[in-house]
Amino acid sequence: MLYSVMARKKRMESIGYYHIVNRGVERRAVFMDDEDRMQFLEILQESSEVYGFRVYAYALMDNHYHLLLRTTALNLSLLMRQINARYSIYFNKKQKRVGPLWQGRFKSWYVYDVDYLKTLVKYVEYNPVKAGMSSKIGEYRWTMSARIDTFGCFDYALMQSVDLSKSLTSDELDALDMYSKMKLKYVDKLIAPHVKKPLDIHFSNNKREIAIDHAIVDGYTQKQIADYLHLSSVAVSKIYKIYRQKVALFNKLRDKGIFWSYSKELTYEKAGNKLFIEYLLKYGDFDDIELGFLVFGKRMMKHVWEEKLKSDQRFIKLNFMIARVFLGMDIEASYFKEVKNARFEKFKLLAS
């Protein structure tokens, strides 16, 4: 390890780039096989959708991991707690073990020198070479430079500007050492985490599922939210899980360009249920539509279908499939040729 250990103190935060390291308790293995590592990456991706961070480099070793990520809010502690806790639950259940998985709280280094980022990308990706697990950068499967796994939170912009064909030079190693010392001086300039908003504010301004998501991002536990709503923790967990499924499906379709007439920054929260379902039904594939019925329910999906698609002559084949497969209607395709377009009929009436 290149950095000296700091005395334990209240963690300070700032928005920006962080180098994160976390080790298994007593340096024991935390990744036993490829399934474990893939599970960690999936948790990383799901957490990025909640907390809005990007990953620029990573290395999943046997008993520890390295991450280089960029936060967009004062939520580093929250997002890392989420990632580490979720993986611990998965690992302990799989291995039938109890007790802490991680050595302690994660270590983080705030990167305030943009030029240094390139060296840090190389350092993170070089770890498997240093450990004798590969002969060159990009060869070890569980690094970002291997480019085997593609997740939405991965950002290759920095990596593309780095020469990964060579090992770390003595100058780069000196820069790493110097940076670790500079960081100790800089930490006092960082700002403290924000104060959580009262739950009343979260739930007075948003729909329940969105308010639950915002409250979790703000640092509330699902138990605290459940107590506030007079619901069980299981109920809150279910609402939150379904909401995250909706967001993930929306982001998938948006990234495919389905919402082409809207801003690329459009979110599920801004789009709303009706717009999302309309475009999902029109342009999603079979599996996407099937998931839509699962997370939104048949009643909501049917309501939007009847309002936006049923009378649209451009989607006769699609409407026939939706009606027969998802709505259980015993009809023929010719049925939709006879369905009148209420909007068109209204325009005709106004024009006459």
Cα(first)–Cα(last) distance of the chain, in Å?
A: 81
Measured between alpha carbons, how far is residue 341 from residues 206, 314, 326 in Å? 34, 11, 22
CB 70 within 8 A of CB 172: no
CA distance 55 to 41: 11
Instruction: Place 340 in a pLDDT band, splitting at 50, 70 and 90.
Output: low
The pLDDT tens digits of the residues spanning 196-212 come to 789 999 998 889 999 99
pLDDT at 37 (0 to 100): 95
Of residues 57 and 223, more confidence is placed in 57
CB atoms within 10 A of CB 169: 11
Give exposure, 75-99, as e/b (b: 16+ Cβ within 10 Å): bbbbbbebbbebbbebbeeeeeeee
Q: Provide the token pair at 166.
A: 């060579």
Per the listing, tokens 């920095």 go with 158
SS3 99: coil
The pLDDT tens digits of the residues spanning 112-133 come to 777 788 888 988 998 898 889 9
Of residues 344 and 70, more confidence is placed in 70
pLDDT at 188 (0 to 100): 40
Residues 324-339 have a mean pLDDT of 79
Residues 225-241 have a mean pLDDT of 91
CB 101 within 8 A of CB 92: yes
Q: Provide the token pair at 75.
A: 């939520």
Residues 306-326 have a mean pLDDT of 89
pLDDT at 330 (0 to 100): 87
Instruction: Place 179 in a pLDDT band, splitting at 50, 70 and 90.
Output: low
Instruction: Place 12 in a pLDDT band, splitting at 50, 70 and 90.
Output: low
**Domains of the chain, start order:** 17-189 (3.30.70.1290), 199-308 (no CATH)
DSSP state of 105: S
Q: Which residues pair with 109 in a beta bridge?
A: 19
CA distance 258 to 278: 11
Instruction: Place 242 in a pLDDT band, splitting at 50, 70 and 90.
Output: very high
CA distance 237 to 293: 19
Measured between alpha carbons, how far is residue 152 from residues 16, 156, 241, 249, 254 in Å? 19, 11, 19, 12, 12
Which residue from 339, 275, 331 is spatially nearest to 304, judged by alpha carbons?
275
pLDDT at 106 over 50: yes
Q: What are phi and psi of 70, to 5 degrees?
A: -125, 125
Q: Which residues pair with 119 in a beta bridge?
A: none
